Amino acid sequence: MTRTRALSAQALAVLDILANAAGEWRHGYDIAALAGIKSGTLYPLLMRLEAQGQLEAAWQESPTSGRPPRHVYRLTEAGHALVASLGDALAQARALRAGAGLTPGLAGRSS
């Protein structure tokens, strides 16, 4: 049976950022910075999204030699479908983040 629980504002922010990445892979730190959430909130969310098939993760070699490969994330088809079904809620979350001074979507920072 599908659990019917509301998406948290943080989950909406993460989905919004990944949706706006237009298929590009995103790092955990980038997502946290753009969504304005802490790593303690981000990772359980990413784990759940991945477990539910909304998100896919991959390993990407670090450009700096000697550093471990990084985990990168992007939405799956199911994730994009979920985002498309969110409509107003996503727009509301985006407006709230913009109000809080956080840059929405594509203006990501690279680390």
Q: Which residues bind another protein (CB under 8 A)?
A: 2-13, 27-29, 32, 35-44, 46-49, 52, 54, 57, 62, 64, 67-71, 82, 85-87, 89, 92, 96-97, 99-100, 102, 111
Give the span between the Cα atoms of 98 and 47, in whole angstroms.
26
Pairing of strands 55-60, 70-75: antiparallel
Minimum distance, C-beta of residue 110 to another protein, in the bound complex (Å): 10
Minimum distance, C-beta of residue 33 to another protein, in the bound complex (Å): 9
Q: Which of 24, 16, 8 is nearest to 79 (CA)?
A: 16
